[in-house]
Structures are given as structure tokens and as C-alpha cells.
Amino acid sequence: MSEWTPIRSDLLRDRNFIGGAWRIGREDTWLEVADPATGAVIGRVPDSGARDADEAAAAASGALPAWRATTARDRAQLLKRWHARILASAEDLAKLISLEQGKPLGEARGEVAYGASYVEWFAEEAVRAYGDIIPAAAAGRRMMVVKEPLGVVAAITPWNFPLAMLARKVAPALAAGCTVVAKPAEDTPLTALALARLAEEAGLPAGTVNVVTASRGNAAVTVGAWLADPRVRKITFTGSTAVGKALARGSADTLKKLSLELGGNAPFIVFEDADIGAAVEGLMRAKFRNGGQTCVSPNRVYVHDAVYEEFAQQLTARVAALRVGPAKLAESQIGPMINSRAVEKIERHVQDAIARGATALTGGHPVRDEIADGPNYYAPTVLGEANHEMALFSEETFGPVVALFRFRSEEEVVRYANDTPYGLAAYFYSRDVSRIWRVSGRLETGIVGINEGAFASEAAPFGGIKESGYGREGSRYGLDEYLATKYLCQGELA
């Protein structure tokens, strides 16, 4: 492990967590984990294969009968204990997130609180998985609906929020009475293993939570084993649309239930009647969280022609002042990108946009200096005069790049905003109440931020439509994703 900061040593795990035991992979092959700021190796974890995945599924399946038989109140108590352990280790977890993912420490602390809030929320929701009594459709009958756990859940989680995304999948699954096998992203397995350690410490029974780590190369084998396994009844995934489609295809033979939280390509619209200062602040919050590496990050910023210059000027001043640097420096606001592939994609989008007529108002290049001293830093960038011929119109950039597009009418901008196969989130700023209701009704997304750049909350349903996937995470809707609806019909009653 890197020495830049001491982290509670028992949270630094280098084994899979299967059936309540810490085990090396069956193939005894290893995956090195790198600090994205420097490329230095900070740890290693098993590069697991199909046998490890199978053992994890067997452990989860073995633990299921006892776990689903516990009372919701007992499951809630255990989730609360896990929540308390996460909060008690918040500083260590934040350092670990920063270390392997690269986000500045302040943001990593925010992620711990955000992830923990899902655990607390679903501890509270566990006891509210109500069924129904339906007025009988025929004499002498009782008609009832009960909710039951789906079974073993496979959670496949991304690198951008290594703690929060795992927590918001595992907590509702456990609350519902399901058991879990999880595979974290290859860039950020350490945080997932630390969370498993805290679940162990909280007293979650062996086999209820299992974590298997694997490289990108072996992900298809480990996850493939779960896709083919009839014991696994549900897949919950956050990541790219291409992988989401592969999971849907791969699980077709066993007809698993899926929750897919996929790519976004979010539009952010600034109408001529907007409060420009508030819109700039909202965009800064939405766009530069985690260096632009979020699925709800605004990818296309549409600004009305009448306010374009004013907005571009205010925004550029704010973006040019952002400080790029490693997570460990308190003043850093934009950390390194996750890896060199990410930087290459950002640079490809920026250069393509410039070649097609965009102007770099600030940034527009990778950074390497005495503070941002590593291979994966990219300058916070504003590109003016973007158009629909550019790659960044149709592909997510996933980096600290704002592309400004001009528009002239509401009709036109709503058409542009919806002109994408994706439908996760959209944002707009306006002070016209009629327009607010009209536009929020016409935007084809699962989430709309209205005069608001930061909408994520454990109390709200997070998820998309179209090729951004289906299923919702968080809120009371998030628990339903892990429950089957069973109808009981009793006859022969006097």
C-alpha cells in the first residue's frame, strides 16, 4: 500500500470475501491496483475467475434461506450496524476512495456520507415492504399480495463512486431479504473490500455479502458465470450502455430481473429568462463533481443566443480558477482522471471539436506540472460554439469539459436535448413557471434538475429511460427492484 496516508490496516484487504472468509483466487493470479495520480501500484487483489464466482454464488445461495427468514426488523438492525461502522470509519474510507479513485479528499468524504445514507435509508425501508389486501373479485375468496425477496443478487459496480454505488445496490438487496455477490470495477476494488470488512464487523451473517475482484479481462468470465447461473435471480449494474446490453443479452437464457443504470449524455439548458449566476453555479456543481466523471454529468450545454456571451464569460472565469491536483492536497478541486484511456478519450473529443470549429475558452489540453505531477490530469475546459457534428454531441466525454451550444427557441432546444438514444438526466434553468412545467414534461429522461445542479439523494429515485437503462435506485422505489410480488388467493371461505 502507498504510504501517503495511514489507513486502518484491517480495511486494506487483498482477498476475495466469500462465505464469510477472506480467500485468494482459485487461479492464484493477481490484479494490481494503481493510484491514478501517479500510476504507482498501491495494492493487489485476486484476479478472479469462474470458480471464484461460482463459489461466491454458492455461498450467497446457501445463506439465502436463513437470511430471507429473518424479520425485516432484524435485517434493519444489522444494516444500521453496518451504517454505524461505515460512519465510524469515514475518514479511512474517504482516504481509500481518494487513493484508488483520485477524487479530492473533500469529495471522497462526501461520497462516504452519500453511500452511507443509502444504507441508513434502506434499513428504514426494510420494515415497510408492505403487501396488499385486494377486495375479493368473487364471493368466498380472499385475495392478497405479499412481497418476497428475489433471491441471490449480482451487483456489478463502477469505479467513479466505488463506495456509494455498491452501498446503493447492496443495502436494498439485503433489506429485501436477498443475498449478494458483488464485483467491483477493476480500477477500484479496495473500497469494495473495505465495505465488506465493515459488513463482517457489523455482524452480517456469512454468505449474505460476497465480493469477488477481477480485471477487465476476467470480468466477462466472473460475471459470465453469474449470468449463466440459475441461482442468481437479479443483476444490478451501473456502467456503460454497451456492457448493460451485453448483460441483458447474457442473462436472457435464465431470464433474470435487471436494473441497469447506464450512460447519460445529459443536456443542460439555460433559457433566456434564467438567473444566469444561478445557472453557472448549478453547472459548476453538476459538471465538475468527480472531475466530470459521473453518468449524470452535463455533456451538452445549450445556452440561449440572447444570454450566451454573458453565460460563457461568467462560466469561463469560474472554470479557469479551478485548481487541478492530487487528492491529498486540500486545495485540489479536480483530481486525476481514472486512467490513461480516459485522458485519451477526453483529448480526442476536444481535438475533434476544435477541428470542427469549437474555440477553447479555457483549458483544452492535458496538464502536467509540479502540482499535477502525473500522467492523468486534464485541464478544466470550456469549448465555445460547439455543434452537432462533433463527437462530444453524441458520445459522453466523462471528463472536465463543458461544450457550449447556442440555441434560439424552446422548440428547437427540446428537440436537440432529446436527440440522443440516452435518457438519464437533463437540467434546465428558467424563471418562467409555465415553461418549467412544459419543458420538464417534454424532456425524455428519468431525472430532471430544474434550477438545480445537484439532485442526487437517497430519498429520490435515480435511473433512466431509453438506452440509459431501467430500474430505480434509492427511495421507496429502490426496494421494489429486489422484491417479487406474490399473489395469494384463498378460496372456499364461507
Q: Which residue has the cell 479496495?
A: 190
The neighbour count for residue 441, using CB atoms within 10 Å, is 9
Pick out residues in 210-239 that bind ligand SIN (CB under 6 A): 238
CB-nearer residue toward ligand SIN: 114 or 407: 114
CB-nearer residue toward ligand SIN: 25 or 336: 336
Pick out residues in 140-159 that bind ligand SIN (CB under 6 A): 158
Min separation Cβ 256 and ligand SIN, Å: 21
CA distance 37 to 104: 11
Min separation Cβ 164 and ligand SIN, Å: 6
Binding test (CB under 6 A) with ligand SIN, winner from 82, 118, 122, 161: 161
In whole angstroms, how far apart are CA 127 and each of 73, 123, 131?
6, 8, 12
CA distance 74 to 1: 37
Binding test (CB under 6 A) with ligand SIN, winner from 48, 98, 160, 381: 160
CB-nearer residue toward ligand SIN: 207 or 464: 464
Min separation Cβ 257 and ligand SIN, Å: 20
Pick out residues in 458-487 that bind ligand SIN (CB under 6 A): 462
- CA within 13 Å, CB half, 281: 7
CB-nearer residue toward ligand SIN: 24 or 465: 465
CA distance 28 to 19: 18
DSSP 340-402: HHHHHHHHHHHHHHHHTT-EEEE--SEE-SSSS-STTEE--EEEES--TTSHHHHS---SSEE
**Three-class secondary structure of residue 74 per DSSP:** helix
Min separation Cβ 382 and ligand SIN, Å: 22
CA distance 247 to 226: 10
Pick out residues in 281-310 that bind ligand SIN (CB under 6 A): 294-296
The neighbour count for residue 58, using CB atoms within 10 Å, is 18
Interaction of residue 456 with ligand SIN, rule CB under 6 A: yes
Min separation Cβ 335 and ligand SIN, Å: 15
Min separation Cβ 253 and ligand SIN, Å: 28
Kindly state the number of chain residues that form the binding site for ligand SIN, as judged by CB under 6 A: 9
Min separation Cβ 484 and ligand SIN, Å: 26
Q: Which residue has the cell 476536444?
A: 350
CB-nearer residue toward ligand SIN: 16 or 238: 238
Of all helices (H) and strands (E), which one includes residue 440? helix 433-442
In whole angstroms, how far apart are CA 123 and each of 14, 21, 148, 167, 422?
29, 25, 16, 12, 32
Active-site residue list? 261, 295
CB-nearer residue toward ligand SIN: 308 or 462: 462
CB-nearer residue toward ligand SIN: 52 or 111: 111
Are 262 and 473 contacting, i.e. CB atoms less than 8 angstroms apart? no
CA distance 370 to 361: 24
Interaction of residue 196 with ligand SIN, rule CB under 6 A: no
| Residues near ligand SIN, by CB under 6 A | 158, 160-161, 238, 294-296, 456, 462
